[in-house]
Amino acid sequence: MVKKTLLLPLVFLLLFLGGCAEFSGASAGKIIPPSAQVSPLGGKWTVLQELDSNGSEGGAGQPWLGSDVQFAPGIVSFGGHVWDNPAYKIKRVKAEDYLLTKYIPSVGSSGLKSQKVDVITVYASGNYLGEFMKLDDTGMIFFVQNKALLLKKIADEADSTLVAGNTNAQELNQDSREGISGVLLGLRIPSATGYTYQTLWVAVDHQQLKPILTSEQIFFPRTSGFWELSVRNLPTDGMTNNLLTARNVTAKAPDLKRENGEREGGAGTEEQPYAEAERVINYIGNDYVAIEKRTAGINHLQVLPVDKLLSPTEIKVSDLLGDKGFNAYLNAREQAAAALREKGIISVSQDESGESFGLIRKNGRWSLVGRIHYQSGGNFEYKDFDLKIIPPANLIFYDALVLSWYNIKDRVPDATDAFTSPNRDIALVKTRTKLIIYPISADKLGETHLAELELPEGATVIMAEWATGSYVDSWEKSFLAYGAQALDSGSVRMR
């Protein structure tokens, strides 16, 4: 049995494929880009045991026990899946600082507390696969679907059958991706106190619908793992006031109050007063959140970084779209202001910084809009204007509608929105009260839908993050480990 002195830090690994942007690790450290053809982990590792968050032995039923994790040049294998052309990022961090971001107990007398360790992040096709913390040359610990696994190296080389299969791994992976798709769908739902938020998981394996899962709050992918975005209502007099926080689901939840009662932000936020306002989420991506901030009778559009939701930081148009995008914003804004002046409205707000912009859904796509404020009859009002700029990939990774919007409306006349898989095998069509799941065949909606979900009145989609192939299984298991439950059968009508 492994001595408990070996059961030291636990590092989290969440398997997922996601349309994600830059890597945002939780700890500061030096990034060391190794050769793309050489694995810094190398060889064959086996799972000695599953650990709990206190560093002790896991309970009964350890499905990972005895399974292998293998690394070879150009290939990585674990969890029954194989990925080709992996990439690695290594950062050297102080163990204590790194572990403070996780649900990790003190490392005690091991000496690891003060030493520096290598944390290795593994990617495939630019998508996050996992994060490993090396204890020494023969031991490391990582997390898979919220399970901490203690690994021991058992061979310096991966199995010969795995290495030999590397020559056609790409073709095999392409075959495995076809016909298997899943999507994390974020919903905003009106309530008596404002809005609530919910995540749905919809997955299809060769036109066979898997159980639909759901959870409260928003569960979404980033390059550092799966994250949770929470909306907490705060007590105030005469207005709705709420707080947005985001965290890696494997990290500690932030303390929202100091001892003196002032609110404080989570990791990566500035300690600044958090203005009282109602914040309504319009869009969630890997690194940015687009909201409407309602305060003092004025509704502002804002784009905020996920890592600094509690700070005063706002993203400007130029930050995402560059100087050309900023000039396009100013020109579109001036046209909107001129239209207002033609109507005799002269009390128009100024916006030389380019912060009043956001995202809306229109005809099955995300569109960038700006907002101009003005006074009319003593009241504050606003007008939105189109930027006519395609949202950049660092804001929205995937937003393709592979079917014609007009064909969708012809088939489902009351459709208000639609989403299609990168695999072109599944479509989700939203109406005012339903979400209809269709197979796609010959670039058309299938003759018969797979299922219909009842939606609350006024529900709006604010997120759609897709997984394909072997990642569908990984995302589903990670969502279940987060606490997702099967959707009530009463709200789902199968074909």
Give the pLDDT confidence of 96-133 residue by residue, as tens digits: 776 665 555 544 434 565 688 888 887 776 566 777 88
CA distance 215 to 153: 37
Residue (of 70, 242, 219) closest to 158 by Cα position: 70
At 437, the pLDDT band (50, 70, 90 cuts) reads very high
Cα(352)–Cα(357) distance, rounded to whole angstroms? 12
> What whole-number distance in Å separates Cα of residue 389 and Cα of residue 396?
13
**Residue pair 382/396 in contact by the 8 Å Cβ criterion:** no
> Do 436 and 412 contact (CB within 8 A), yes or no?
yes
pLDDT, tens digit, 9 for 90 and up, residues 126-183: 566 777 888 888 888 776 656 667 888 998 888 877 766 554 444 445 444 567 899 9
pLDDT tens track for 376-432: 877 888 999 999 888 888 899 888 888 989 889 999 999 999 999 988 899 999 999
Q: Residue type at 68?
A: D
DSSP 118-147: EEEEEEETTEEEEEEEEEETTEEEEEETTE
Spatial separation of the C-alpha atoms in residues 26 and 19, rounded to whole Å: 19
CB atoms within 10 A of CB 341: 12
DSSP state of 491: G
What is the reported pLDDT for 279?
A: 93
The whole-angstrom separation of Cα 441 and Cα 364 is: 19
Give the model's confidence band at 6: pLDDT under 50 very low, under 70 low, under 90 confident, else very high: very low
pLDDT 10s digits, 276-314:
889 999 999 999 999 999 887 789 999 999 998 887 778
Smallest Cα–Cα separation from 366: which of 423, 414, 307, 303?
Answer: 303
Whether 14 and 250 have beta carbons less than 8 Å apart is answered as yes
- Return phi, psi of residue 482, to 5°: -70, -25
Residues in the chain: 495
pTM given for the model: 0.70
Q: Which residue has the higher pLDDT, 477 or 20?
A: 477
In angstroms, the CA 43 to CA 134 distance is: 14
Output the CA–CA distances (angstroms, integers) from residue 125 to 74, 128, 133, in the order listed: 12, 9, 22
List, in order, residues 6 or more apart from 226 with CB less than 8 Å away.
Answer: 14, 16, 219, 220, 248, 249, 478, 479, 482
Indicate the pLDDT class of residue 270, thresholds 50, 70 and 90.
Answer: very low
pLDDT digit string, tens, across residues 39-56: 678 888 888 887 654 444
Q: Mean per-residue pLDDT for 218-228?
A: 90
DSSP bridge pairs for 31: 91
| Backbone φ, ψ for residue 327 (5° rounding) | -65, -40
Contact between 306 and 271 (Cβ < 8 Å): no
pLDDT of residue 465: 94
Residues 6+ away with beta carbon under 8 Å from 51: 7, 10, 57, 58, 141, 148, 149, 150
Q: E strands of 353-479, at which residues?
A: 357-362, 365-376, 379-386, 417-420, 426-430, 434-441, 444-445, 451-454, 460-468
Yes or no: say if 283 and 289 are a contact pair by the CB < 8 Å rule: yes
Q: Give me the pLDDT at residue 167, please.
A: 45
- Structural tokens at position 485: 């439950």
What's the mean pLDDT when you consider all of the chain? Answer: 78
Which pLDDT score is estimated for 488?
78
